Amino acid sequence: MSYKVEKLVINYKTLEEFKKFKEYGLQELSMLEDLEANIIENDIKSPFYGIYFGDKLVARMSLYRVEKKFDRYFQPPQDYLELWKLEVIPEYQNKGYGSALVNYAKTYGLPIKTNPRVKSQDFWIKMGFTPVQYDMERDLGTNPLVWTPGSPEEQTIEEPSA
Ligand code: COA
C-alpha cells in the first residue's frame, strides 16, 4: 500500500491534531507556546512528517539529520537520521502507516537511529533495524536500534530521493 508522507508545518491545526497522539509532550507544548507568543510564525517547517487520512492526521514521526561530527553510532562516523515519535493512532494501527513512514525515512539513503518505545521492538526488527550494543554512557537507559542502507535484509529499498 502506498501512502503520501507529508512534511508537517506548525500551525494551530497541526498542534491540535498532535493532541491525539500519546507522545504529546514538552516538544509540542513548547511549539504551542512559541506560536501563541509569536516567537515562531505560523506554518513554519517542523521536524515532523505525517500521513493524513482525509484531513485527519493518523500517523506521524520526527526526523532530524545529525551531523557526522556528533555521530557515536556508526563506523566510520557519518551523517545520520534520528527518528523519534513514530506513532500511529490506535484505530489506524496495523494498516501499513508505520512502515510507510519508516520506509520514507529510508529513502534518504542515510543510516537511521531510533529509540523505540516499549513494546515496539519487534516492529523495528521487522523493519530491518538491529539493536546496538548497549553503551551506558552513550545510551543512558535507552535501547537504540539502527538501520544502515544496503543491509542484506533490505531488498526492497527505494532509491534515495535526496
Ligand atoms: N510489535 C510487533 N510487530 C508489530 C507491531 C508491534 N507493536 N506493530 C506492528 N507490527 C508489525 C505488523 O504486524 C506488520 O507486520 P507484517 O508486515 O508481517 O504484516 C509490520 O509490523 C508493519 O506494520 P504496520 O501496519 O506498518 O504498523 P503500524 O502502522 O501499526 O505502526 C507502530 C507500528 C508500532 C508505530 C504503531 O502500531 C504504533 O504507533 N503503536 C503505538 C502503540 C505501541 O507502540 N504499541 C505496541 C504494542 S502495545
- pLDDT tens-digit profile of 54-73? 999 999 999 999 999 999 99
Instruction: Quote the pTM value.
Output: 0.88
C-beta of residue 34 within 8 angstroms of C-beta of residue 76: no
Lowest mean pLDDT among 38-47, 50-59, 63-72, 104-113: 38-47
Q: Find residue 2's DSSP bridge partners.
A: none
C-beta of residue 88 within 8 angstroms of C-beta of residue 117: no
Question: d(Cα 28, Cα 22) in Å, to the nearest integer?
Answer: 12
Q: Find residue 82's DSSP bridge partners.
A: 64, 113
120 Cα: distance to centroid of ligand 1 (angstroms): 7
69 Cα: distance to centroid of ligand 1 (angstroms): 33
pLDDT band of residue 155 (cuts 50, 70, 90) is very low
List the residue whose alpha carbon is closest to atom 37 of ligand 1: 93
**In terms of Cα–Cα distance, which of 43, 42, 10 is closest to 29?**
10
List the residue whose alpha carbon is closest to atom 31 of ligand 1: 98
